[in-house]
Amino acid sequence: MSQLQILDAYFAENREKHLEELSEFLRIPSISSLSEHKQNIQTAAEWLADELRELNIENVSVDQTAGHPVVYGEWLHAEGKPTILFYGHYDVQPVDPLHLWESEPFNPVIRDNKLFARGASDDKGQVFMHLKMIEALFATEGTLPVNVKFIYEGEEEIGSPNLPAYVEEHKTKLAADLILISDTGLYAPGKPAVCYGLRGLTGVQIDVRGAKGDLHSGLYGGGVQNAIHALADILASFRDEHGTIQVEGFYDKVLPLSEEERQAYRELNFDEAALKQEIEVIELFGEEGFSYLEQTWARPTLEINGVFGGFSGEGIKTVLPAEAGAKITCRLVPDQDPNEIVELLKAHIDKHKPKGVEVTVSEFDKGAPFLTPFDHPLIQAAGRSYERIYNVPTAFTRGGGSIPIVAAFDEILSLPVVLMGFGLNSENFHAPNEHFHLENFDKGLRVLGDYLYEVSNLKF
Amino acid sequence: MSQLQILDAYFAENREKHLEELSEFLRIPSISSLSEHKQNIQTAAEWLADELRELNIENVSVDQTAGHPVVYGEWLHAEGKPTILFYGHYDVQPVDPLHLWESEPFNPVIRDNKLFARGASDDKGQVFMHLKMIEALFATEGTLPVNVKFIYEGEEEIGSPNLPAYVEEHKTKLAADLILISDTGLYAPGKPAVCYGLRGLTGVQIDVRGAKGDLHSGLYGGGVQNAIHALADILASFRDEHGTIQVEGFYDKVLPLSEEERQAYRELNFDEAALKQEIEVIELFGEEGFSYLEQTWARPTLEINGVFGGFSGEGIKTVLPAEAGAKITCRLVPDQDPNEIVELLKAHIDKHKPKGVEVTVSEFDKGAPFLTPFDHPLIQAAGRSYERIYNVPTAFTRGGGSIPIVAAFDEILSLPVVLMGFGLNSENFHAPNEHFHLENFDKGLRVLGDYLYEVSNLKF
């Protein structure tokens, strides 16, 4: 029997027990955003720590932070072998509106080979897979092919406010060769994905001020600058009609897509017609010269998130508005630097400032983009592990959004990040009736086991 | 003694009595917008009708409408002479905040040769001047040099909802050679003005719709049109950097300013520095090639009155907004047609519609611009009458705003409109401590008397 066959047999034999254990974990209502669940968060952390201890994981601790605790553990006896740092989170989203749940959010039930419960997919189910994969390896081989460390947080759903400081403080303890995160999803049912990049974020608010107050558009109109018109001029200047951002230097540090990456995206045969139907737009629109996937995964954006000024009630008020404002965020890609981009935005706004108004620009929080190169051996190995179990080519994807903690890991620990997730977009994370397709639970356990062997034998 | 000297003596002799009568009129709290004052409105109308009857005016009536009554009267015995239709309003604005009044709004008092009371200047004081001028002419000459008709309404401060229908219905009865309105002001203290034009108004709301709902700017950003960005593109397209409106055909029907008019405006030596200081702008901005007065009096505008879309709360929400909207109004000048302009706006918006969104345009109420030609004999005669009494050149002005009822008179009766007002911008119309400079009450009576002789002798 191959190692994979041995693992397979173990998982099959223990499936019912594993699902019962997972259900126990899911029964703990560890909602991080609601203070009345503080004790449940603590209970979930201790449940995890106990699990790690049962698996022979060493130096297990529940480390208090300014918020909810971080659970840590390690096993470092695979001499000469790489070290994988596993990350996940044991906190969950709130459950309201409760009446839309078909079964109780904290009373897991299996229907149609799907496990329904808050956290089933995001992220307790996926964290649990790390543990059971370790259990299986110990049970079948008596050892692990690599060194492992675990860091599980209880604040992901509230923006990980305390994790960066924790990681910074425990930099040495957390040193590893890669960080493996299971908190994302497959590309589509039956089609696994390795996400090797995420966009960063930066943003500004633009405030335009004209006269000391709104003026009568009859008395002053035509002779005094209109704050909204001035703002519209600035906003329109950011982009040309081809969707190309006109901020000088904006694209200078953007890593071009390699032909291999573009080819990999093309092979996904992304269904634009289905997307149009889903979001109900008459046509898609983005930067000319790039496909939809390229636009949303590998190209930076400048998005106006909000605009306000003057009278917005019903009917008409013939005011010449004195103030107007807009909120703007840019999704960034490697190697754009959020701080540099903000400076470019400011210079652009300054250059395009219309007459007769004052313009102030204030900055929002920033997050760096992240990319583990497409051709990195750890990325390609992850693809092979998926492919071996799912029997279809792995999709190599990037995420258009940001996972702030990924960027933080990338920045603080300077490790290759490998995102191996097993969820599906249809699984209602953050919504009623969250569930986890157990087919991906079963396959994912095997993918993770296989990946540990892959990493064990890799030169990188 | 000249006719003017005779009038002068009459007004001087009866000044105290006249002011006491005016105070009686001002004591009636004829606030048109508040239903509890409905009886006071009626009382004021009857007070006016009684006054007219005492002056030998004939066919006096208090005509009920769907709202507050219209007071009518006529005297048509100046055979072969022109007929002047006098217009004014006997309703007033509310008085709150009451605590800011230095004396009670409906208890007129004279301080420093100013009469303080709600309606003193807007418009009871000016209506009263019509009456006393008639009284003086009858008293001194036993007759009038022209035929006169009077129409005084009680709904001007609530937008004259019923007057256009009344005028339409009584078209024949109201037929005249000109309409004389005293509800405007001098150009500056000591500097009289004849306002010979007002701008019209038209407007649209633009609603932009992208996807079926707001999207996550990370997942979709870069590949789906942003409704606010699309709207900003439309808004910015309306105007170039010189303040010139880019809507095709927008200026086609604009009557050019004559060299005489431009010269008349230049001679007013408008103080732009004082304006900048007053409204607190760093610089003025308007259509290139025109002075501030020309821009606000004689050039059309396209003003964005309000804009909305996406997230406008504190901080940031990384949303890709599905909806955005703006409210736009244009101030129009002769001979622009509000309906035509709306069509041009629609065509422009259609032409500049960005990809990936749907745009709907809805119309607001419209008002036509009005102009009695600068060189019209009735306008120039009014200037002469002012000049004779004030001993300075009359300012020939236009108003940047709209007085809907003026446009309605212009449209329904097709009469030259002469705006001869005696208020001052500093007199707190619509605000606490409204007052009327009695210097202009005294002079105005003489100007009006003089004007009747001017009109009597005019060929037009």
Q: What are the C-alpha distances in Å from B410 to residues B84, B303, B373, B456?
A: 14, 25, 13, 22
**pLDDT over threshold 90, residue A366:** no
- Looking at per-residue confidence, does B408 or B375 come out higher? B375
Q: What percent of chain A is modeled with pLDDT above 70?
A: 100
**pLDDT over threshold 90, residue B159:** no
Assess if residue B277 is contained within a domain.
no
- Residue B425: predicted pLDDT: 87
- Residue B404: predicted pLDDT: 75
Q: What percent of chain A is modeled with pLDDT above 90?
A: 91
- What pLDDT digit, counting tens, does each position of B23-36 carry? 999 999 999 999 99
Q: Which of B226, B239, B283 sits opposite A229 (nearest CB)?
A: B239
Q: Are residues A182 and A266 in the same domain?
A: no
Measured CA to CA, the distance from residue B296 to residue B282 in angstroms comes to 18
Q: Are residues A179 and A244 in the same domain?
A: no
- What pLDDT digit, counting tens, does each position of B102-151 carry? 999 999 999 999 999 999 999 999 999 999 999 999 999 999 999 999 99
Assess if residue B13 is contained within a domain.
yes
As given in the structure block, the two tokens for residue B416 are 């030259």
Query: How long a stretch of residues is chain A?
Result: 460
ipTM of the complex: 0.89
Q: Are residues B358 and B443 in the same domain?
A: no
Please report the residues numbered 387 through 406 in chain B whose beta carbons come closer than 8 angstroms to any beta carbon of chain A: 399-402
Q: Is cis: bond before B337, omega within 30 of 0?
A: no
Assess if residue B262 is contained within a domain.
no
Assess if residue B270 is contained within a domain.
no
Q: Are residues A321 and A389 in the same domain?
A: no
Q: Are residues A303 and A412 in the same domain?
A: no
Please report the beta strands in B315-394, taking only residues with DSSP state E, as ranges in sequence order: 319-320, 323-332, 358-363, 370-371
Which residue is closest to A312 within chain B, CA to CA? B306
- What pLDDT digit, counting tens, does each position of B195-246 carry? 999 999 999 999 999 999 999 999 999 999 999 999 999 999 999 999 999 9
How much is the mean pLDDT over chain B? 95
For chain A, the domain total comes to: 2
Which residues in B lie closer than 8 A to residue A430 (C-beta atoms)?
none
**pLDDT over threshold 80, residue B99:** yes
- State the Cα angle at A458 between A417 and A72, rounded to 5°: 45
How much is the mean pLDDT over chain A? 95
Which residues in B lie closer than 8 A to residue A238 (C-beta atoms)?
229
- Residue B256: predicted pLDDT: 96
- Residue A407: predicted pLDDT: 82
**pLDDT over threshold 90, residue A410:** no
Q: Are residues A217 and A338 in the same domain?
A: yes
Spatial contact of A413 and A167, defined as CB atoms under 8 Å apart: yes
Q: Are residues A204 and A108 in the same domain?
A: no
- Residue A122: predicted pLDDT: 94
Lowest-confidence range among A89-98, B246-255, B439-448? A89-98
Whether residue A283 and residue B356 make contact (CB cut-off 8 A), yes or no, is: yes
- What pLDDT digit, counting tens, does each position of B263-291 carry? 999 999 999 999 999 999 999 999 999 99
Which residues in B lie closer than 8 A to residue A301 (C-beta atoms)?
217, 221-222
Question: What is the CATH classification number for the domain harbouring B353?
Answer: 3.30.70.360
Assess if residue B103 is contained within a domain.
yes
Q: Which residues contact B258 (CB under 8 A, 6 or more apart)?
A: B374, B375
Please report the beta strands in B174-296, taking only residues with DSSP state E, as ranges in sequence order: 178-181, 193-198, 200-209, 215-216
Range of the domain at A207: 200-290+298-363
- Looking at per-residue confidence, does A460 or A325 come out higher? A325
Q: Does B76 touch chain A (CB under 8 A)?
A: no
Whether residue A285 and residue B365 make contact (CB cut-off 8 A), yes or no, is: no
Rounded to the nearest angstrom, the minimum Cα separation between A381 and chain B is: 26
Q: Are residues B173 and B130 in the same domain?
A: yes
- Residue B311: predicted pLDDT: 93
Residue type present at position B85: L
| Boundary of a domain, candidates A324, A348, A363 | A363
Q: Which of B222, B224, B304 sits opposite A279 (nearest CB)?
A: B224
Q: Which residues contact A32 (CB under 8 A, 6 or more apart)?
A: A41, A67, A68, A91, A92, A154, A155, A156, A157, A158
Whether residue B281 and residue A217 make contact (CB cut-off 8 A), yes or no, is: no
Q: Are residues B441 and B340 in the same domain?
A: no
Q: Does B441 touch chain A (CB under 8 A)?
A: no
Which residues in A lie closer than 8 A to residue B195 (C-beta atoms)?
none
Q: Does A246 touch chain B (CB under 8 A)?
A: no
Q: Are residues B69 and B11 in the same domain?
A: yes
Assess if residue B165 is contained within a domain.
yes
- What pLDDT digit, counting tens, does each position of A256-287 carry? 999 999 999 999 999 999 999 999 999 999 99
The pLDDT of A19-41, averaged and rounded, is: 96
- Residue A287: predicted pLDDT: 98
Give residue B183's Cα distance to chain centre: 8
Q: Are residues A341 and A207 in the same domain?
A: yes
